[in-house]
Chain A
Amino acid sequence: MKMGLSLNHFLILGAFLFCIGLYGAIAKHNAIAVLMGIEIMLNAVNITFVGFAFYNTVKPWSTYLTGQIFAIFIITVAAAEAAVALAMIISIYRKRSTVDVGEINMMKW
């Protein structure tokens, strides 16, 4: 079908994106930048799932597009997570006037 491409192309692209997003989520000061890294990681996982759905060789009826269904649920949960996380960041900014994850230490003891 697609002659030059294989599943590994998409898996390795997903791996690259995942570790870039992981670096962004670990190494950033700004909480919104951490959230952006997490969004990149979720996108990498989505690319992996859709790739597996396309190159699926185990084909009982009704399981062809299971990977795409998974991707839809991941998008749903990611949207909910982004809304709640940004509301929390804005609420913390109102109380503490900072979005630096190093300075937000209310839950540290």
Chain B
Amino acid sequence: MDLATLLFWIIAIILVGSSLLVVGLRNIVHSALALVVVFAMAAGIYLLLDAEFIAIVQILIYAGAVTILILFALMLTRTSNVRTNSNPINKLWWIGAIISTLVGVAIIFAVTIGPHSTAHVGGGAAYGPQSAACPLPPNNVAYIGQLLYSPTCYSYVLPFEIASLVLLVAIIGAIVIGRED
């Protein structure tokens, strides 16, 4: 067993365990803190997959911003019994368990033994041919930068601009919805 496989299993076990803690703990502040572990371990998975930029973005945005946002929302919506039972499950939790188990079994069936299974795809990324107009960037971050911003090569400039518009609308919407009347 090589190092990458060992790291994968360690990270995967912590990831699944802490996400079970997120849905299982009785104190919702503890759930939010377990969510930090989930996000950090997902960043470890991205590092294993040679996606350094996404790993850093995951740490910055999820483990930094989204978790702080959730903790602030918990602070502003204080319930009476935070310690004992602030994260209850509803009466139909067993239907939720059945539905999510069925979805999980369906996905695992589809990727392992289904007719379109992905059990035998090739191993690992290798950077391919390059043209003179668009030379291959030296690393992952530069490559993603070229794919997001480049005006001459094949890139995702227009979706990127639309994403910035979405963020602007979300900021204005959050201010308008959240302010006191």
Chain A residues packing against B (C-beta within 8 Å): 1-24, 26-30, 32-33, 35-37, 39-40, 43, 46-47, 50-51, 53-57, 59-62, 64-66, 68-69, 71-73, 75-84, 86-91, 93-94, 99, 102
Q: Jot down 28 A-B pairs with beta carbons below 8 A, ordered by A.
A: A1-B123, A7-B121, A12-B108, A13-B12, A13-B45, A15-B107, A19-B100, A26-B100, A27-B96, A28-B87, A28-B90, A33-B23, A39-B35, A46-B54, A47-B42, A59-B128, A61-B134, A62-B147, A65-B144, A65-B147, A72-B144, A76-B163, A77-B166, A82-B66, A82-B69, A86-B69, A86-B73, A91-B178
Q: Contacts A3-B5, A79-B65, A83-B170 known; A24 to B23 CB distance under 8 Å? A: yes
Query: Which B residues lie within 8 Å of A12 (CB)?
Result: 107-108, 111-112
Please, how many angstroms separate the alpha-carbon atoms of A13 and B38 in the complex?
12
Name B's A-contacting residues (CB within 8 A).
1-2, 4-5, 8, 12, 15-16, 19-20, 22-23, 28, 31-32, 35, 38-39, 42, 45-46, 48-51, 53-54, 57-58, 61-62, 65-66, 69-70, 72-74, 76-77, 79, 86-90, 92-93, 95-97, 99-101, 103-104, 107-108, 111-112, 118-119, 121-125, 127-131, 134, 140, 143-144, 147-148, 153-154, 156, 159, 163, 166-167, 169-171, 173-175, 177-178, 180
